[in-house]
Amino acid sequence: MIEVKNITKVYKSGDIETKVLKGISFSIKDGEFVVIIGPSGSGKSTLMHILGCLDVPTSGQYFFEGKDVSKFSDDELADIRKKKLGFVFQSFNLLPRATVLRNVVLPLVYANIPKAEREEAAKKVLLNAGLDEKHFVHLSNQLSGGEMQRVAIARALVNNPSLILADEPTGNLDSKTGEIVLETFKNLNSQGRTIILITHERYIAEKAKRVISIKDGEIVEDTINRRHKIVQQIKE
């Protein structure tokens, strides 16, 4: 699904250059659950912006589903974001005075999907994200943090994206609620969803099948979680 070749990102301010990414290369297959972990300032968020077609690299190539999107125009990148990508952020980004169902339906409104079809799709992904149907008519600001994040996950799923990108999705949650949200991602991955999750928390990385560690703009480790590998071998 993804192939990144020698990606760099340099920010310029006058005569000062700041190298945020320094030759990043990796590939991610369809159906993988990958955690990208690193401390603050490591470049992981910049990398996610590039993977999510929100930014472009200074040099190098980014292939998404076989296409070199690093050379795409702003309109072409926006089209990929709309049709192929789902985003989950730390701050939820829900409309507080809109119902849960309305929050999830909105991307389909912008896509001109008929009302009955979009409401059916929204209900399906909300249930898939683990939210009880009784909450569908609640305003988003009437929910707990974990419930709001599951609504945000459902919104990311409603366009049936090829890839889900989650940036510190448990950052505003207590550890117990964070575990529930992580289980939601694991369940989605078990259904075949490709997920890339950005974090600085090691315990979150232990939940993923694969971990890419980044520091000072470079990959320092790319490993398969041994526990997941053992489980897979037992199943085989």
Instruction: Provide the pLDDT confidence category of residue 179 given band limits of 50, 70 and 90.
Output: confident
Measured distance between the N- and C-terminal CA atoms of the chain, rounded to whole angstroms: 24
pLDDT of 226:
59
Q: What is the pLDDT of residues 60-117, one digit of tens each?
A: 999 999 999 988 889 999 888 888 898 888 777 888 888 999 999 888 877 778 888 8
Q: Kindly state the average pLDDT of the residues 179-201.
A: 85
Please give the class, per CATH, of domain 29-48+83-235.
Answer: alpha beta
Residue-level pLDDT at 230: 36
pLDDT at 197 over 80: yes
- For 102-109, the CB contacts below 8 A with 24+ separation are 103/140, 103/151, 103/155, 104/151, 104/154, 104/155, 104/158, 105/158, 106/155, 107/82, 107/155, 107/158, 107/159, 108/158, 108/159
For the chain, give every domain's residue range. 29-48+83-235
The pLDDT value given to residue 41:
87
pLDDT attached to residue 82: 83
> If you average pLDDT over each of 23-32, 106-115, 187-196, which comes out highest?
23-32
Task: Specify whether the backbone of 80 is left (phi greater than 0), alpha (psi in -120 to 50) or beta.
Answer: alpha
